[in-house]
A and B are shown apart, each in its own frame.
Chain A
């Protein structure tokens, strides 16, 4: 069974930084692109980033471009999201999700909560 477990969320001040992790198990991790998707309190889903299986291709939403950096360590089966220059509007539950054949997301973690507040 494929499992994804996010960690690293917490309370951070505006302008601060945080690194999220997503540990994967039950799959050949390097074979799959991975996504970060976030959900602000009471709001809908917002795609944040996609990283190819090799890590060589990375894509970002305009709302986070230049501030967030996605990476992965395939030897550790772990996906990362380095977030900097955080803003109040970055407050959300952050999910990692495995990408399926049509770029849909077929497995999701339970999420980790990021709160940006002074």
Chain B
């Protein structure tokens, strides 16, 4: 199985500042036939199910604020929250679907 490793495990960012979460896969998740990365990002707030933010590494799901963006290709990916708001406090997960689905271990985002 492809192992997804997120960094850091937790981070604290001031309101209005940028938050960056990294995700590295143990092998490429770029599908050559369509040149798409099978990488998604989810946000999970306490007591709630996960919510899809980004798929295909950089495509924002409908209704997701544009302060959330995804980048990267192959094995290295980044989720960026450009101007942190209080409601962004959550755990964030990356997930690959190139092969048997696996998730990263999660990154806990808090307000500094």
A residues contacting B by CB (< 8 A) are 35, 37, 44-47, 50, 59, 61, 95, 100-106, 108-111
Contact = CB atoms under 8 A, between A and B. Distances in A.
Contacts of A108: 49-52
A103 B38 CA distance: 8
Contact of A103 (B50, B97, B103, B104): B97
Interface of B: 36, 38, 40, 42, 44, 48-52, 55-56, 61, 93, 95, 97, 100-106
A108 B55 CA distance: 15
A2 to B, nearest CB: 12
A47 B102 contact: yes
A66 to B, nearest CB: 16
A10 B49 CA distance: 18
A44 B95 CA distance: 11
Contacts of B50: 37, 45, 95, 105, 108
A39 B44 CA distance: 11
A106 B38 contact: no
Contact of B40 (A35, A44, A46, A105): A105
A46 B102 CA distance: 7
A78 to B, nearest CB: 18
Contacts of A109: 49
B15 to A, nearest CB: 26
B36 A102 contact: yes
Contact of B103 (A47, A101, A106, A110): A47
B103 A104 contact: no
B59 to A, nearest CB: 8
A102 B111 CA distance: 32
A59 B100 contact: yes
A83 B48 CA distance: 23
A40 to B, nearest CB: 12
Contacts of B101: 35, 47, 50, 103
